[in-house]
A and B are shown apart, each in its own frame.
Chain A
Amino acid sequence: ETGVTQTPRHLVMGMTNKKSLKCEQHLGHNAMYWYKQSAKKPLELMFVYNFKEQTENNSVPSRFSPECPNSSHLFLHLHTLQPEDSALYLCASSQGRELAGGHNEQFFGPGTRLTVL
């Protein structure tokens, strides 16, 4: 157990659906991250929040909409997705404060396996 949970673990949705992925961390961290792993590709950073402020949007299409209501929770709202968005979506958290510098070790959740039909 890493202290980072994600729900649901699996999600199948149609292209016209709206759904949300949820991440919760119990580590007292202040920074949270969304990553995407497509088949046969490395993990790609999507969004970063530090103290609830978005500090990174890695050119992610607007059909992915993150929300960070507090330092413990992170959501990824999905709408009008495409089949090529099918992937494993991982959440991570780290201590925050100064994201740069220090080890800033990231702790990962188990991911949500998303399939878009």
Chain B
Amino acid sequence: ILNVEQSPQSLHVQEGDSTNFTCSFPSSNFYALHWYRWETAKSPEALFVMTLNGDEKKKGRISATLNTKEGYSYLYIKGSQPEDSATYLCAPRMDSSYKLIFGSGTRLLVRP
């Protein structure tokens, strides 16, 4: 069974703070990593798909890095805003399988 760990489970920050959280996955047979942002009562929204070791992706104030050799990815949010409040999910794919193996997510709450 593939073990995908996300930490922390939840995070409360003040508006304007920068924050980051981690996704850990087995490094062997890695193929791709997907990050999703999931607001309550809405659909999970794709943020990034990352494949190469050392990849860095950016979308506005959100960025992500990937280390496939040690099996982790960081998601960073610069200058958090209340609208960033959501659960952030990571989902690696292994061996070019189509299956996404989801972590439990990091729930972020940004206080105004």
Contact = CB atoms under 8 A, between A and B. Distances in A.
Given A42-B4, A42-B105, A106 B43 contact: no
A109 B43 contact: yes
Classify the secondary structure of B's interface with A. Answer: loop
Interface stretch (B52-60, B74-82, B95-103): B95-103
B96 A100 contact: yes
Contact of B100 (A2, A45, A111): A45
Interface in A80-100: 90, 94, 99-100
Interface residues of A, number: 25
Nearest to B38: A108
Interface of A: 2, 4, 31, 40-45, 48, 56, 90, 94, 99-101, 103-111
